[in-house]
Amino acid sequence: MDVKENTPEPSANEKVHAINQTKILEVIFVALLILVLVAAIFEAWTYSFVAARPPLIILGVALLLVIIQARRLRKGILGVLIGEELKKSLQKKDSVVRKVAAITGCMLALVAAMVVAGQHIAVGLFIFILMYYVSKESFKLSFNVALGSIAVIFLLFEWVLDIELYRGIVYLLLNGYKVF
């Protein structure tokens, strides 16, 4: 028996909602890309002039392409009320937009935790939070996997490959470095 035979055809309203959700996700993705590219351009300006030329050229072209994409999206979305559609999508429990927003928030929290606490601790916290709160695994399993991942990352990078990972602002402050 084929699965398609038992699946009801989505209504026209459901199809429009799915298209609108896709457009919303694309707008969010383009907005995040613009933010990342602008941040990377500002970072490239801190390099010496000779070292900054290649990244600035590449980032400038990428930013131009993303802006063109954003303009194309804006023209295609004029008839869609993004605010209302986004509100509807976020209110649904299993909405794709809600899941994307949640994982995006987790990734931003991971980056912030890396800056503050360092890569070792941030990755361990990220794994623990995803396993315990999102996947609803047991505390013991989540804690052990997070601790094991920290140990593997530390052993692999610090001892085997002899690469010192970023330790975070807290570590730098405790060791007397002037961060601010």
- pLDDT above 60 (res 131): yes
Locate 37 and state its tokens. 């590219």
CA distance 56 to 26: 25
Percent of the chain with pLDDT over 70: 73
DSSP string, 111-135: HHHHHHH-HHHHHHHHHHHIIIIIS
pLDDT (mean) for 24-40: 76
Q: Where are the alpha helices (DSSP H) in 11-138?
A: 12-44, 49-77, 82-91, 96-117, 119-129
Q: Where along the chain do its domains lie?
A: 1-91, 93-180
118 with 171: CB under 8 angstroms?
A: yes
Contact (CB, 8 A) for 123 and 153: yes
pLDDT for 72 beyond 80: no
| Of 51 and 110, the one with more pLDDT | 110
Answer whether residue 17 shows pLDDT above 70: no
Token digits for 13? 């309203």
Mean pLDDT to the nearest integer, 49-54: 72
CB half-sphere exposure, 51, CA atoms < 13 A: 6
More confident of the two residues 136 and 94: 136
Residue 79 is predicted with a pLDDT of 47
In this prediction, residue 6 has a pLDDT band, given cuts at 50, 70 and 90, of low
Buried residues in 94-109 as b, exposed as e (16+ CB within 10 A): ebebeebbeeeeeeee
Please, which residues have CB within 8 angstroms of residue 117's CB and are 6 or more apart in sequence? 125, 168, 170
